[in-house]
């Protein structure tokens, strides 16, 4: 009998409780029974993902294959249906299936995924081209993504009520609008549902083959959000978050032949959901703790960035201390608009404009410096919102200290960047 990987056993029991423990206990016998049924021989070490095992095998004619057995969950029901519809087009071939045991005998692909073999534009372009290849008419019986729209809206509003300060209202409203306007009206195209670089493996028949589909009928642009969020650990280190994020979406949309605006809207929806799901369950790479909080903050910053639509951050001579955290916006301290009124475009959610609050004794604030005309500070990229709800732009003094209004917001956790954990109070040295 096979030996169950400890990480899979532990994760399944933690996630599924007694039902998961019972499934793990019976898994070796299940695998042995399937090997006998399909007359296969083990041909390698047991691999695993988050919800099942993959065992390399040899078929009776000697050809390589893999036996996959997944935990019985509704999200895994339609995986074999998707493989059947594709028939090897851009995805591994399905040789046999046992729906009762959530088991499949599949074509064997390479072990090293796209995530390990490519990066940057190449990775995104491969994913986009594969998305185009997988875009075939969905067979009857697949769950329709548009059928989830009502539940998605209910979940978003319930989560927003529970974590009222986790996300800017404008980003939440934009996600709800996406659900209503894009989510409720979708084509009947077969959608992978979890298309990211780790689910794309090298093949022999084709350069790259998709694995682990969810199997939905809907808008292929939906997968752009999955891909973008899977790039979080790369994007979080980008010097210009907005430029990097929009580059991913641009390259994917072009390679997949998809409408750029639908791609952006679905990506924003996924980012908003990631904020709340991260709060509730954590992430695969960080279930709790400071790293989880940092990823939640990243998802929130990304959602707001995609709501603003800005691609680059134009700051005054002195770099904004939050530029790496908040990423590109249309303006910082009104520098891009040249309005000179000290308004942070980051804070002007809903088109409101407000004069900057009085600066602290160690902060120099003037119309000239707000326009980037040689002043000593950069506008606060967080766009701190005061107690009365009015947007405000604050400055960082030449000494590197925060002005009183910003310092108070930071200490009371009203500062959005302080809550996310995406920024520190380190101020860049003057240039």
Both structure tokens of 280: 């509730």
Both structure tokens of 43: 């041909």
Q: State whether residue 15 is helix, strand or coil.
A: helix
Beta bridge partner(s), residue 52:
70
- Start-to-end CA distance of the chain, whole Å, equals 65
| Buried b or exposed e, range 379-405, using 16+ CB within 10 angstroms | bbbbbbbbeeeebbbbbbbeeebbbbb
Q: How far apart are CA 95 and CA 99, in angstroms?
A: 13
- Nearest-CA neighbor of 307 among 272, 337, 343? 272
Q: How far apart are CA 94 and CA 57, in angstroms?
A: 14
Give the alpha-carbon dihedral of 402, 405, 408, 414, to 10 degrees. Answer: -110
- Nearest-CA neighbor of 377 among 353, 399, 344, 348? 399
Q: Is residue 380 within 8 Å of 406, Cβ to Cβ?
A: yes
Select which of 194, 219, 223, 345 is catalytic. 194
Q: Is residue 341 within 8 Å of 281, Cβ to Cβ?
A: no
Q: For the packed helices 6-16 and 18-37, what is the interaxial angle rounded to 10 degrees?
A: 130
Catalytic residue list contains 194: yes
Both structure tokens of 330: 């249309």
Give the alpha-carbon dihedral of 417, 420, 423, 424, to 10 degrees. Answer: 100
Q: Could you give phi then psi for residue 300, rounded to 5 degrees? A: -65, -45
Q: Which residues are catalytic?
A: 194
């Amino acid at each position: 009998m096979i030996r169950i990987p400890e990480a899979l056993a532990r994760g399944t029991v933690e996630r599924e409780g007694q039902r998961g423990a019972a499934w793990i206990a019976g898994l070796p016998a299940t695998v042995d029974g399937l090997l006998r049924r399909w007359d296969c021989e083990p041909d390698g070490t047991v691999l695993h993902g988050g919800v099942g095992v993959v065992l390399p095998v040899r078929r009776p004619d000697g050809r390589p294959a893999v036996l996959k057995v997944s935990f019985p969950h509704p999200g895994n029901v339609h995986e074999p249906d998707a493989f059947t519809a594709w028939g090897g087009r851009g995805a591994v071939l399905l040789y046999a299936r046992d729906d009762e045991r959530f088991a499949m005998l599949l074509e064997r692909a390479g072990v090293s995924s796209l995530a390990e073999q490519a990066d940057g534009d190449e990775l995104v372009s491969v994913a986009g081209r594969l998305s185009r290849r997988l875009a075939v008419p969905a067979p009857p019986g697949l769950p329709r993504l548009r059928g989830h729209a009502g539940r998605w809206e209910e979940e978003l509003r319930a989560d927003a009520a529970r974590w009222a300060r986790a996300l800017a209202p404008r980003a939440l409203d934009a996600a709800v609008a996406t659900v209503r306007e894009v989510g409720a009206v979708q084509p009947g195209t077969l959608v992978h549902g979890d298309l990211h670089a780790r689910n794309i493996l090298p093949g022999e028949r084709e350069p790259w083959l998709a694995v682990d589909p969810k199997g939905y009928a809907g808008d292929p642009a939906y997968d752009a959000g999955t891909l973008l969020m899977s790039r979080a650990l790369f994007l979080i280190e980008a010097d210009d978050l907005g430029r990097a994020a929009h580059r991913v979406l641009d390259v994917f949309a072009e390679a997949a032949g998809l409408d750029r605006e639908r791609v952006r809207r679905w990506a924003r929806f996924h980012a908003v959901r990631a904020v709340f799901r991260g709060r509730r369950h954590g992430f695969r790479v960080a279930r709790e703790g400071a790293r989880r909080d940092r990823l939640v903050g990243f998802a929130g910053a990304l959602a707001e960035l995609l709501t603003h639509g800005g691609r680059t951050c134009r700051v005054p001579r002195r770099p904004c201390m939050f530029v790496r955290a908040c990423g590109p916006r249309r303006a910082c301290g009104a520098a891009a608009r040249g309005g000179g009124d000290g308004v942070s475009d980051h804070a002007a959610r809903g088109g409101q404009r407000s004069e900057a609050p009085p600066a602290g004794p160690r902060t120099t604030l003037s119309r000239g410096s707000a326009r980037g005309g040689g002043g000593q500070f950069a506008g606060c990229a967080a766009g701190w919102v005061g107690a009365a709800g009015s947007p405000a732009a604050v400055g960082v003094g030449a000494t590197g200290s925060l002005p009183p209004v910003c310092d108070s917001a930071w200490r009371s956790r009203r500062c959005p960047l302080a809550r996310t954990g995406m920024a520190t109070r380190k101020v860049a040295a003057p240039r």
